[in-house]
Structure 1
Amino acid sequence: MESKLNMETKKKFYYGWVVVFACFLINFVNTGLLVYTFSLFVLPVSTALAKSPTQIVLAASMFTAAFAVISPLIGKQLEKGRIKQLLIAGAILNGGGFMLLSKVNSLSMFYICYIIVGVGAAIVGPAVHSTLPAYWFEKKRGLAVGIANVGAGAGSIIAPMVITATMTSYDWRMGFFVLGAISAIILCALVFIIKTKPSEIGLYPDGLTKEEIDAQPAAERPVLEGLTRSQAFKTSAFWMICISFLFIGVAQLGVLQNQAAFLMSIKFDMIVAARALAYIGSMSILAKFIFGYLADKFNFKGVFLFGNLLLIIGIVMLSRVTPESNLVYMSAYAILFGLGIGSWYPIAGVIVGKTFGVKFYAAIYGFIFSIRAIGDIFGAPSISAIASTRGYSFGFLCAAACACVSVVLIMLIQTPKEYTKLLEK
Structure 2
Amino acid sequence: MEFLAPRRRPHLGARTPTRGRRGRRGRRGGSARRAGRSAARTSRARAAPVARVRGTRGRTRTNPEPARSEANTGVIAQRRMAAGAAIVATPTPDAHPATEASTEAVTEHGRPPAALPLPATLLGRPVFYGWYIVGLAFVAAMMSSGIQAYSLGVFITPMTEELGWSRTDISLGQTISTGMMGVLGLFIGGTLDRRGGRGLMIGGAVLAGLGFILLGQVRELWQYYLVKGGVVTLGMVGMGAMVVNVAVSNWFVRRRGRAIAISAMGISVAALLLPTVASAMITAYGWRAAWAVIGVAVWVVMIPPTWLIMRRRPEDFGLEPDGGRRLAAVGDAREERRSQVDAARWTRRQAIHTPALWMLILTFGLASMGLGAMLLHLFPYLTDTGFSRSEAAAGFSMIGLAGLLSKPFWGLAIERFAARVTAATEFLMMALGIALILAVDSTLSMFLAVFVFGLGIGGVVTVQETVWADYFGRFTLGMVRSIGRPFTIVSSAGGPVLAGVAYDVGGSYEVAFIVFIGTYVAAAVLILLTPEPSPPASPQPSLAAPEPVPATTDARHAAVEAPPAPRSDRLAGD
Shorter-chain TM-score range: over 0.9
Tell me which of 147, 151, 154 is aligned to 1:37: 151
SS of equivalent residue, structure 2 residue 458: helix
- Whether the aligned pair in 1 keeps the contact of 2:192 and 2:243 (CA below 8 Å) is yes
Query: Cα distance, 1:369 vs. partner?
Result: 3.2
Tell me which of 432, 452, 455 is aligned to 1:339: 455
What is the CA–CA distance in structure 2 between the aligned matches of 1:352 and 1:82, rounded to whole Å?
18
1:156 aligns with 2:271: yes
1:304 aligns with 2:423: yes
- Whether the aligned pair in 1 keeps the contact of 2:425 and 2:524 (CA below 8 Å) is no
1:397 aligns with 2:509: no
* C-alpha distance after superposition, 1:174-205 (max 9, x if no partner): 11111111112222122111111112221011
Q: Which amino acid counterpart does residue 533 of structure 2 have in structure 1?
A: P
What is the CA–CA distance in structure 1 between the aligned matches of 2:269 and 2:161, rounded to whole Å?
29
What is the CA–CA distance in structure 2 between the aligned matches of 1:173 and 1:207, rounded to whole Å?
46
- Whether the aligned pair in 2 keeps the contact of 1:130 and 1:145 (CA below 8 Å) is yes
1:413 aligns with 2:530: yes
SS of equivalent residue, structure 1 residue 257: helix
1:168 corresponds to: 283
2:193 corresponds to: 79
Query: Cα distance, 1:84 vs. partner?
Result: 2.5
1:94 aligns with 2:208: yes
- Structure 1 pair 284/367, CA: closer, same or farther in 2 (3 Å)? farther
What is the CA–CA distance in structure 1 between the aligned matches of 2:396 and 2:315, rounded to whole Å?
40
Mapping for residues 349-360 of structure 1, pairs under 5 Å: 349-360=465-476
TM-score (norm 1): 0.92
What is the CA–CA distance in structure 2 between the aligned matches of 1:2 and 1:129, rounded to whole Å?
31
* C-alpha distance after superposition, 1:299-346 (max 9, x if no partner): 01111121122111110111223xxx2222111111111011121211
2:259 corresponds to: 144
1:374 corresponds to: 490
What is the CA–CA distance in structure 1 between the aligned matches of 2:93 and 2:432, rounded to whole Å?
53
What is the CA–CA distance in structure 1 between the aligned matches of 2:517 and 2:491, rounded to whole Å?
13
Aligned length: 418
Deviates more, 1:407-416 or 1:8-17: 8-17
1:16 aligns with 2:138: no
- Structure 1 pair 372/272, CA: closer, same or farther in 2 (3 Å)? farther
Over aligned residues, Cα RMSD in angstroms? 2.3
* C-alpha distance after superposition, 1:351-377 (max 9, x if no partner): 112212222011112332333222221
Identity across the alignment (%): 24
Query: Cα distance, 1:238 vs. partner?
Result: 0.4
Greater helix proportion: 1
- Whether the aligned pair in 2 keeps the contact of 1:91 and 1:185 (CA below 8 Å) is no
Mapping for residues 178-327 of structure 1, pairs under 5 Å: 178-189=293-304, 190-208=306-324, 222=339, 223-321=342-440, 325-327=441-443
What is the CA–CA distance in structure 2 between the aligned matches of 1:302 and 1:420, rounded to whole Å?
25
Tell me which of 205, 227, 239 is aligned to 1:124: 239
Deviates more, 1:379-388 or 1:77-86: 77-86
Tell me which of 372, 378, 387 is aligned to 2:503: 387
Deviates more, 1:81-90 or 1:282-291: 81-90
1:6 corresponds to: 95
- Whether the aligned pair in 2 keeps the contact of 1:58 and 1:381 (CA below 8 Å) is yes
Query: Cα distance, 1:29 vs. partner?
Result: 1.0
What is the CA–CA distance in structure 2 between the aligned matches of 1:423 and 1:26, rounded to whole Å?
38
- Whether the aligned pair in 2 keeps the contact of 1:87 and 1:124 (CA below 8 Å) is yes
- Whether the aligned pair in 2 keeps the contact of 1:318 and 1:396 (CA below 8 Å) is no
- Structure 1 pair 370/20, CA: closer, same or farther in 2 (3 Å)? farther
* C-alpha distance after superposition, 1:92-131 (max 9, x if no partner): 2100000001111111101111011112101222321111
Q: Which amino acid counterpart does residue 357 of structure 1 have in structure 2?
A: G
- Structure 1 pair 374/14, CA: closer, same or farther in 2 (3 Å)? same
- Structure 1 pair 367/158, CA: closer, same or farther in 2 (3 Å)? farther
Q: Which amino acid counterpart does residue 362 of structure 1 have in structure 2?
A: G
Deviates more, 1:118-127 or 1:296-305: 118-127
Q: Which amino acid counterpart does residue 227 of structure 1 have in structure 2?
A: W
What is the CA–CA distance in structure 2 between the aligned matches of 1:369 and 1:277, rounded to whole Å?
28
Consecutive unaligned residues in structure 2, runs of 5 or more: 1-89, 98-119, 542-574
- Whether the aligned pair in 2 keeps the contact of 1:245 and 1:369 (CA below 8 Å) is no
What is the CA–CA distance in structure 2 between the aligned matches of 1:203 and 1:255, rounded to whole Å?
42
- Whether the aligned pair in 1 keeps the contact of 2:145 and 2:240 (CA below 8 Å) is no
- Whether the aligned pair in 1 keeps the contact of 2:345 and 2:536 (CA below 8 Å) is no
SS of equivalent residue, structure 2 residue 217: coil
Query: Cα distance, 1:410 vs. partner?
Result: 0.7
What is the CA–CA distance in structure 2 between the aligned matches of 1:135 and 1:2, rounded to whole Å?
23
- Whether the aligned pair in 1 keeps the contact of 2:147 and 2:270 (CA below 8 Å) is yes
- Whether the aligned pair in 2 keeps the contact of 1:279 and 1:331 (CA below 8 Å) is yes
2:481 corresponds to: 365
What is the CA–CA distance in structure 2 between the aligned matches of 1:342 and 1:244, rounded to whole Å?
18
Q: Which amino acid counterpart does residue 516 of structure 2 have in structure 1?
A: A
Query: Cα distance, 1:31 vs. partner?
Result: 1.4
Larger radius of gyration between Structure 1 and Structure 2 = 2
What is the CA–CA distance in structure 1 between the aligned matches of 2:266 and 2:482, rounded to whole Å?
19
- Structure 1 pair 82/357, CA: closer, same or farther in 2 (3 Å)? closer
1:110 corresponds to: 224
